[in-house]
Structure 1
Amino acid sequence: MEVHPEAGKEGKPSCALVELQGDSSLQVEISDAVSERDKVKFTVQTKSCLPHFAQTEFSVVRQHEEFIWLHDAYVENEEYAGLIIPPAPPRPDFEASREKLQKLGEGDSSVTREEFAKMKQELEAEYLAIFKKTVAMHEVFLQRLAAHPTLRRDHNFFVFLEYGQDLSVRGKNRKELLGGFLRNIVKSADEALITGMSGLKEVDDFFEHERTFLLEYHTRIRDACLRADRVMRSHKCLADDYIPISAALSSLGTQEVNQLRTSFLKLAELFERLRKLEGRVASDEDLKLSDMLRYYMRDSQAAKDLLYRRLRALADYENANKALDKARTRNREVRPAESHQQLCCQRFERLSDSAKQELMDFKSRRVSSFRKNLIELAELELKHAKVTPPTSHPPQARGYACMCMCVCGCVHAHGVRGHP
């Protein structure tokens, strides 16, 4: 399946994820995106009055691997060790939607034409929603870099935005992926060693509080994300389960010739409206809640990585102090030990100063985003709660509606077609 230009523009949730406070001297957005099987090509458009750029408005085409390259370049740069690096956008994954569409096309003949059309429409809408979120995640990554007073001045960022040709960036192979996995294990072990066996004590109550908070916060937001996904999938499954019920009632309405015909058709209309309503509820919860929780789960991990780098700098500073004491005791290599101790001290103080400001910005950004998204979600839920089914049903239709709703509730509670 191919998604044509501008498919990712409508309803992009980038602004809903983060509240950015950048100036207008550098504005970045993804103006276009095209899906070509396993690849998505993003058109990155830049407007800037900065003297570094040769033009005030220009655009380039980038792929996901080039976004990952840019993120890794920031992480590996020592100059940004005291900053929260915006989390890398997730890799585009449309395989699940493609497989569902393929299975639907190869489905059995028991599915009616009406059911097939509705299921196909639902799957295409799901594919488009995933595509829009993919575009939004890549856009918000660039916008956070452009809004940051330090990260926006990076040379690699300028190259990413301005260089009109392919950056010749390849995806990571298995060896590189395994190396990254092992580095994460080593980092976790090193952090546990620093805080545990070495007995290193935090010298600043602010960072001690932030570290304790972020450890708990990351765990809680990860659990909340899993629960929100479960609720969203339940609404989605319920909407899917209404399709065969509505189709069956519609079929009965076309076959019956007595007074029940009108009742069956009205019931089919009722369940079709309920299907659309449940689908909108699932979409709103996915966009306003699940996506936000998933993003800040990655962003809180980036904040934890910042605290680890500062803790590592503190441990290096303490080790440099011990090495200097030993050198003075033995009266050997005192000058190199003093130079190393000063460098470690300067690095630790530099990281502490920038990290404190970054963590305060992270808090204000997080609180503002949660307030905005939760208010909008509550307003949407109130709007959906006010939607009422047609009131022109005859008494027989209302009776059958109550019976069918009870049956559907029981079936859905015990799982339908393998759904949890």
Structure 2
Amino acid sequence: MAENKEPPPLFDDLDINTNNELDDDDDEDIFASAIQEQNPLSTSNSYNGVSGIQAELPKLSLRDAPEDTSYSTVSSPAPGQLSSPLGMPNDINDLHEVQINDDSLSQSLKQSQSLEEVPTEISDTMLKITVTSPAKIGEGMGAYVVYRVETKTNMPIFKKRNFSVIRRFSDFLGLHDKLIEKYLRNGRIIPPAPEKSVIGMTKIKMSGDKNQEQNSSSTDFIERRRAALERYLNRTASHPVLSVDPDFREFLEADMELPKATSTSALSGAGVMRLFNKVGETVNKITYKMDESDSWFEEKTSQIDSLDTQLRALHSAVETLTNQRQELASFTGASAKSIAVLGHGEVGVSLGRALAQLAETLEKVEVVRRAQSNSDLYQFGEMLRDYVALIGAIKDVFHERVKVFQNWQHAQMMLNKKREQKARLEQAGRSDKTTQAATEVIEWESKVERGQEEFDNISKMIKKEVERFEILRVEDFKKQLTEYLETMLQHQNHLIKHWESFLPEARAVG
């Protein structure tokens, strides 16, 4: 069956932070400094890029991709401005080491059944979320970045139709952890939150007015994170179950500071345990192979791996393309300056004028090249990055099903042991312990039934979630690629116009 599968995706999920203070304040938030500037992807109609410095960074959304003839929507910014319980057993023989929690299992089953009652589609509803105005709070190592989360909706479960709140990065991670805890065990695909980045926030801390290069890099990082947070919230909002979750609603409309999500800190007690758990989970994924009896899962696992490999390769290629366009834009700008100097020293009037016109044309071409580079990054590259993370979320829910299967098999193994123990006691005439053994057999029979029921439920839910994901993925890819290609076509048309306007001047050289 694997022969018919598509190939596999793009980068590793684990980004381990090594600074405790960074994580305590968003991982990114502790470093602060270069966020007081304006966005690179503004919707101005001029070629002059972005200018001005503000206390807060204005909203920039890829949904506002240029449909006019301007480039500043995707043009590069001026210096200092913003651009656009440890793993499960590794062998089935070790399953006896796993302890089954009756209450937890029952609760999970009840929650799974109750979630089935939630309608899978919500018609005629609107829930649109934008993340705007990144701003630094505090100074030094205690500084962090906050974002304004604005919501527009017609859903009756919300108290207002329009509202906004201030949230920090750790709040987003805390929300994601809550959703994972509640829904992953039931087979729901939870949209992944943006990863932490010590390097990105270190750049923000080190950037300042005197270091324009670092300042531009840090503001670009903030903009990419802002856009990623916005996409994360809207993906969550589009899910028929997650969108009505109490924690999600509180995150959107509770106009107060949320309790600090200390579990998001890498080096806190919870963070260290989470790191060990991830290592254990990774080892378990590698070493434990489930005997798959459902051909659908066997097929989908191969397809997901193939898609993962393809997306990762494509994302890498797009990153290379982006860097090359940026270099091309820089070289074009350098050429324009050199030609302008050459034109000033030219004795011939017509040739000097032609060289000056050529320098001006190359300056315009530089702007277009930077616009193309930003389109590659923000409209195409970031979409691919999102889907690599989404594929990781699908793999996580597939692995959760394996863990449920392991618990079920452990219960079955323990039931067999208890039955054998009961039979030996009966043969030995130990009536004093036979009753207790019979009770234990009944208990493990119940655990086996619940384990099988939970396994069947999560398998059923995963199939529904993957089917929904595939439908949305096709629609989303079509929309995003269409917008990207339209923008590329606009860029090429502008390049043609620039060179056509220069051609008469070149021909006029006598």
What range describes the TM-score normalised by the shorter chain of this pair? Answer: 0.7 to 0.9
Question: What residue is the counterpart of 1:392 in the other structure?
Answer: 504
Question: What residue is the counterpart of 1:409 in the other structure?
Answer: none
Distance in 1, Cα, partners of 2:249 & 2:471:
28
Question: What residue is the counterpart of 1:186 in the other structure?
Answer: 280
Give the drift of 1:308. 0.2
Question: What residue is the counterpart of 2:319 in the other structure?
Answer: 229
* 1:40 and 2:134 aligned: no
Structure 1 range deviating more: 30-39 or 185-194: 30-39
Of 188, 207, 225, 1:134 maps to: 225
Contact 1:25/1:50 (CA < 8 Å) preserved in 2? yes
Question: What residue is the counterpart of 1:83 in the other structure?
Answer: 188
Question: What residue is the counterpart of 2:489 in the other structure?
Answer: 382
Contact 1:7/1:128 (CA < 8 Å) preserved in 2? no
Contact 2:134/2:226 (CA < 8 Å) preserved in 1? no
Name the CA shift for 1:274/1:245 in 2 (closer, same or farther; >3 Å).
same
Name the CA shift for 1:232/1:206 in 2 (closer, same or farther; >3 Å).
same
Contact 1:74/1:80 (CA < 8 Å) preserved in 2? no
Distance in 2, Cα, partners of 1:377 & 1:79:
33
Question: What residue is the counterpart of 1:336 in the other structure?
Answer: 443
Question: What residue is the counterpart of 1:8 in the other structure?
Answer: 59
Structure 1 range deviating more: 207-216 or 24-33: 24-33
Give the drift of 1:139. 1.8
Give the drift of 1:361. 1.2
CA deviation vs aligned residue, 1:186-214 (integer Å, no higher than 9, x gap)? 1121122320xxxx311211111111121
Contact 2:184/2:397 (CA < 8 Å) preserved in 1? no
Of 100, 125, 129, 1:29 maps to: 129
> Where do 1:280-299 residues align within 5 Å?
280-299=371-390
Distance in 1, Cα, partners of 2:238 & 2:383:
19
CA deviation vs aligned residue, 1:95-144 (integer Å, no higher than 9, x gap)? 65887886765xxxxxxxxxxxxx99xx86x7766544433321222222
CA deviation vs aligned residue, 1:46-93 (integer Å, no higher than 9, x gap)? 345555444443321111110000001111225754101101024584
Give the drift of 1:313. 1.1
* 1:153 and 2:153 aligned: no
Contact 1:12/1:133 (CA < 8 Å) preserved in 2? no
Name the CA shift for 1:396/1:231 in 2 (closer, same or farther; >3 Å).
farther
Distance in 2, Cα, partners of 1:187 & 1:397:
71
Of 241, 250, 253, 2:340 maps to: 250
Contact 1:264/1:397 (CA < 8 Å) preserved in 2? no
Distance in 2, Cα, partners of 1:397 & 1:83:
69
What SS does the corresponding residue of 1:7 show, helix, strand or coil? Answer: coil
- After TM superposition, the score normalised by the length of structure 2 is 0.65
Of 168, 171, 187, 1:63 maps to: 168
CA deviation vs aligned residue, 1:21-53 (integer Å, no higher than 9, x gap)? 864546241263232276432222334555544
Question: What residue is the counterpart of 2:112 in the other structure?
Answer: none
CA deviation vs aligned residue, 1:261-306 (integer Å, no higher than 9, x gap)? 2232122123212212211211111122211111100000000000
Give the drift of 1:249. 1.4
- Report the number of matched residues: 372
* 1:74 and 2:179 aligned: yes
What SS does the corresponding residue of 2:283 show, helix, strand or coil? Answer: helix
Name the CA shift for 1:302/1:11 in 2 (closer, same or farther; >3 Å).
closer
Question: What residue is the counterpart of 2:353 in the other structure?
Answer: 262
Structure 1 range deviating more: 29-38 or 287-296: 29-38
Distance in 2, Cα, partners of 1:100 & 1:62:
23
Distance in 1, Cα, partners of 2:325 & 2:387:
23
Contact 2:134/2:222 (CA < 8 Å) preserved in 1? no
* 1:271 and 2:356 aligned: no
Name the CA shift for 1:212/1:13 in 2 (closer, same or farther; >3 Å).
farther
Distance in 2, Cα, partners of 1:133 & 1:13:
15
Structure 1 range deviating more: 202-211 or 5-14: 5-14
Give the drift of 1:397. 7.4
Question: What residue is the counterpart of 1:172 in the other structure?
Answer: 265
Contact 2:186/2:461 (CA < 8 Å) preserved in 1? no
Relative contact order (C-alpha < 8 Å, sep 6+): which is higher? Answer: 2
CA RMSD of aligned residues (A): 3.1
Of 291, 294, 317, 1:201 maps to: 291
Distance in 2, Cα, partners of 1:181 & 1:163:
30
- After TM superposition, the score normalised by the length of structure 1 is 0.78
Give me the identity figure in percent.
23
Name the CA shift for 1:247/1:104 in 2 (closer, same or farther; >3 Å).
farther
Contact 2:207/2:218 (CA < 8 Å) preserved in 1? no
Distance in 2, Cα, partners of 1:298 & 1:319:
31
